[in-house]
Amino acid sequence: MKRTLGAVAGAAVVALALSGCGTQAEAGDGESSLKGDAAAATCDAVDVGAITRCENFYDDYWPEIDKQLDALYEQAKEEDGGTLVIWDWYELSPDVIAQFNERFPDIKVETRGLTYNLSSAIISAKATGSRNTDVVSGSITSMAAMYDEGFWEKVDWQSFGVPEEYLTLGAPELMPDSINGSLLQYNTDKIAEVPASLDGLLAPEYTGKVSVAGYNAVVFAGYGMAEGEDAMLDLIDELMSSGTMKLLEDQGAPLSSGDVPVALNQTLFNPNPSLQVAPFEHSGVWAQFSGVNSDAKNKPGAALWTLWNAFDPDWIHLRMTDERFASTQVPFAGLPAVTFGEATGLMKTNADALLLGLDSGAETETQDTRDDWQAMINAADKALNG
């Protein structure tokens, strides 16, 4: 369930090429048949950077959402023989599916992990008439091609009990289920602390000690959004020409050994106890979204999964405390603060860093700034890879 923003530019180009003459855009037109009947509630709102937290979510919103899950389950069992197809960056683990089936036993989940090919596979399945994924997901930038081609069913998530405040970063049909972001990963056996900004990496003590993956140009995009493209490109050039930063496809092994003890990356999923993560000035922290594929065969099942995965308190508790699920994304920052307070292990490491980044003014992509973010990622990608 880990997702990334890396390499979105190339994936978007391929996906759009597969879309033919643009007929897919009709797929998401019109009003969705999916609609709940949840009673409205009022958010006890607290700003966490660009995200609004509803501290009363589990008191006033979840009971209504929970009722909707029961109704969706009954519908989902009747669609496509109760089969639910989920494609994502990585396939779902059997442990995750088992947790879903503990409550919804009559749903058969089929999953695929497609990494960079996720968007193109979804668009290609539509074009060829193949069985498509029921659930679509990604960040505002990484799923741009799928969104523009109409693959996000226009579900009224508020009618299922989701706070209006959660639906302001993206288009209304994009249901936020987690957060991710750019972080400095570092080996505390070799580096006591990392600087508070990317510019700080130019200090002599970091020469040769920093890595970045060529596909992860997004880690510079927040800096570019704040300081401008020219400043971002100058920074990348300085980091590389000074010998400070190495371009590595595999950052994990040299980070863990300490050979290259600082990695510009995203959330950490290496259990090495010497590894830590930290936000930095102008780091990007963004929401991840899930939704219903307009080409889905089991739309109630897709809505059921999307709501359960984002909000079910028993599932969220496991994500926060059970190391089996340490590789899942950090839950959406709009959930109550107490939810994150129970985090342990790697989930705590990542959640603390991302929430600190948001509180410190991280750059956050929105639907309105999507194209600017994409242009900045493209520029950083070209600077890194030529």
Considering Cα of 263, then 268, then 270, then 272, what sign does the dihedral take? Answer: positive
Distances, alpha carbon 329 to alpha carbons 177, 178, 204, 234, 361, in Å: 9, 6, 34, 32, 21
Question: What b/e readout covers 319-342, taking b as 16+ CB neighbours within 10 angstroms?
Answer: bbeeeebbbbbbbbbbbbeebbee
Can you tell me the mean pLDDT for 221-225? 98
Number of helices (H) and strands (E), helices first, in the chain? 13, 13
Sign (positive or negative) of CA dihedral 222, 228, 233, 239: negative
Give pLDDT tens digits for 322-334.
999 988 999 999 9
The Cβ-side half-sphere exposure at 272, using a 13 Å CA radius, reads 19
Window from 9-13, 369-373, 376-380 with minimum mean pLDDT: 9-13
Q: Give the pLDDT mean for 198-213.
A: 97
Helix-, strand-, coil-residue percentages of the chain, each rounded to 5: 45, 15, 40
Is the confidence at residue 246, as pLDDT, over 90?
yes
Percent of the chain topping pLDDT 70: 92
Q: Quick one: average pLDDT of 206-213?
A: 98
Position 343 pLDDT exceeds 90: yes
Mean pLDDT of the chain: 92
Q: Residue 45 pLDDT > 50, yes or no?
A: yes
- What pLDDT does 228 receive? 98
Q: Classify the phi-psi angles of 81: left when phi > 0, otherwise alpha if psi is within -120 to 50, otherwise beta.
A: left
- Which residue is it, tokens 């090495």? 272
Three-state DSSP class for residue 81: helix
For residue 284, is pLDDT > 90?
yes
Burial of 371 (0-12, 13-18, 19+ CB in 10 A): exposed
Residue 266 has pLDDT above 50, yes or no: yes
Q: pLDDT tens digits for 129-181?
A: 999 999 999 999 999 989 999 999 999 999 999 999 999 999 999 999 999 99
* DSSP assignment of 88-113: ESSPPPHHHHHHHHHH-TT-EEEEEE
pLDDT, position 20: 35
pLDDT of residue 29: 55
165 within 8 A of 321, measured Cβ to Cβ: no
Assessment of whether the complete model's pTM goes beyond 0.85? yes
336-350 average pLDDT score: 97
Q: Is it the case that residue 38 has pLDDT exceeding 80?
A: yes
Answer yes or no: is pLDDT of 24 > 70.
no
Which of 19-23, 186-190, 196-200, 373-377 is predicted with the least confidence, judged by mean pLDDT? 19-23
pLDDT band at 2 (very low <50, low <70, confident <90, very high): low
Q: Residue 98 is encoded by which pair of tokens?
A: 């088992």
Contact 89, 136 (CB under 8 A): no
By the 8 A CB rule, do 383 and 296 touch?
no
With CA atoms as reference, report the closest residue to 336 among 60, 33, 7: 60
In this predicted model, which residue has the larger pLDDT, 22 or 155? 155
Burial class (CB in 10 A: 0-12, 13-18, 19+), 250: exposed
Q: What is the DSSP letter of 347?
A: H
Residue 298 has pLDDT above 60, yes or no: yes
Type of residue at 305:
W
Which is higher by pLDDT, 13 or 180?
A: 180
